[in-house]
């Protein structure tokens, strides 16, 4: 897939490991201009981890880009660890990282679960946020989780069939519980096949057109285990969000500007959620990409995201 509308590949100018509570250790990196405008990249999942391509949404001559892997994900340790792994923990981790790097305020950039975490952090620490660029919005509501687990069958019956066929027929009445038991089993012969099945299901449903490269990246053992185990854990606990949900607290960030990018045919996080968010956010601007699904790397989505970041650059 050509990615000429992204900025060129770039290596970090600094990396580190930040000890966290509960024995977790966070991997973080900084990319771009050390004296530039700070922006924090928040990866999806939960549990997916960040990759080198995520550095390329930002002009390295202007932005001081901070990227990290959330608890249990990617290069953070221990991989797939669920203890002390909740949304409040992640929000506290972001604050710990901000303080350790000496950053006063930053722009938040996140897609899918990254949009959820961005909203949770912004609502907890609005004074630290200059703005938000969000993509493929997920608010963690029960209907959104149920759509992922069962509703996607309406659009991707073949991918959904492969997803549930990993489970014995007698356990398919509780897909989440059956998967979570397997994903938490200490035996790799049990948890790795379950992780691959879960992750490949998500990968198959993430793009408008079939993308073998996307599915292959989701199927890699490290990616699959972090994504599937942590995602199922969060789904089983209502994403560790307030009982009245994120929309109930939008007043805390009503003054913060936002750019929301949404693929019209996003099946993982359908467009209705983005519209609900923007309706509750006076300073949010919505861009609907007419020929895209969920992935940040689909052509129209990545172009819109780069454009959204550049608009914040002009705001100063």
CA angle (98 as vertex; 94, 100 as ends), nearest 5: 115
Distance CA 301, CA 292 (A): 7
Query: Cβ distance 32 to 309 under 8 Å?
Result: no
Structure confidence at residue 1 (pLDDT): 35
- 112 catalytic? Reply is yes
Q: What is the mean pLDDT of residues 286-300?
A: 97
Split at pLDDT 50, 70, 90, the class of 2 is: very low
Which of the following is catalytic: 24, 43, 76, 266? 266
Q: What is the mean pLDDT of residues 138-161?
A: 98
Sequence ranges of the domains in the chain: 14-141+240-315, 143-239
Which of the following is catalytic: 24, 43, 166, 294? 294
- For residue 223, what are its two tokens? 């990616």
In sequence order, what E strands does the chain have?
A: 14-19, 25-32, 37-42, 63-68, 106-111, 129-135, 258-263, 284-289
Structure confidence at residue 3 (pLDDT): 47
Q: What are phi and psi of 111, to 5 degrees?
A: -125, 150
199-236 tens-digit pLDDT: 999 999 999 998 888 888 887 888 899 999 999 999 99
- 294 catalytic? Reply is yes
- 237 catalytic? Reply is no
Q: What is the mean pLDDT of residues 306-312?
A: 96
Average pLDDT over the chain, rounded to whole?
96
16-43 tens-digit pLDDT: 999 999 999 999 999 999 999 999 999 9
What does 45-88 look like in DSSP terms, one character per residue?
TTTT---GGGGGGS-TTTEEEEEEPPTTSTTSBSTT--TT-SHH
Structure confidence at residue 316 (pLDDT): 63
CATH numeric code, 14-141+240-315: 3.40.50.1820
Q: Is the pLDDT of residue 87 over 60?
A: yes
Structure confidence at residue 201 (pLDDT): 97
Split at pLDDT 50, 70, 90, the class of 178 is: very high
Which of the following is catalytic: 112, 199, 211, 295? 112
Residue with tokens 């990249």: 41
């Amino acid at each position: 897939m050509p990615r000429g509308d992204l900025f060129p590949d770039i290596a970090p100018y600094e990396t580190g490991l930040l000890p966290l509570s509960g024995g977790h250790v966070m991997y973080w990196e900084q990319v771009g201009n050390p004296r530039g405008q700070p922006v924090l990249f928040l990866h999806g999942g939960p549990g997916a981890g960040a990759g080198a391509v995520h550095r390329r949404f930002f002009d390295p001559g202007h932005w001081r880009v901070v990227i990290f892997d959330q608890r249990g994900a990617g290069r953070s340790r221990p991989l797939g660890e669920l203890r002390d792994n909740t949304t409040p923990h992640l929000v506290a981790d972001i604050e710990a990282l901000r303080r350790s790097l000496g950053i006063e305020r930053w722009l938040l950039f996140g897609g899918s679960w990254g949009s959820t975490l961005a909203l949770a952090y912004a609502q907890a620490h609005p004074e630290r946020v200059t703005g938000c660029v969000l993509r493929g919005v997920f608010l963690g509501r029960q209907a959104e989780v149920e759509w992922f687990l069962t509703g996607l069958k309406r659009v991707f019956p073949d991918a959904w069939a492969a997803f549930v066929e990993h489970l014995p027929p007698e356990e398919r009445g509780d897909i989440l519980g059956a998967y979570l038991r397997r994903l938490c089993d200490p035996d790799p012969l049990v948890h790795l096949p379950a992780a691959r099945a879960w992750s490949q299901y998500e990968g198959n449903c993430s793009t408008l057109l079939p993308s073998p490269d996307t599915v292959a990246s989701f199927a890699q053992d490290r990616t699959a285990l972090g994504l599937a185990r942590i995602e199922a854990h969060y789904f089983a606990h209502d994403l560790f969000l307030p009982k009245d949900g994120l929309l109930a607290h939008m007043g805390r960030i009503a003054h913060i500007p936002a750019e929301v990018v949404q693929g019209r045919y996003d099946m993982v996080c359908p467009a209705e959620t983005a519209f609900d968010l923007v309706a509750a956010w006076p300073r949010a601007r919505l861009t609907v990409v007419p020929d895209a699904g969920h992935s940040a790397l689909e052509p129209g989505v990545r172009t819109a995201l780069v454009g959204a970041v550049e608009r914040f650059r002009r705001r100063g």
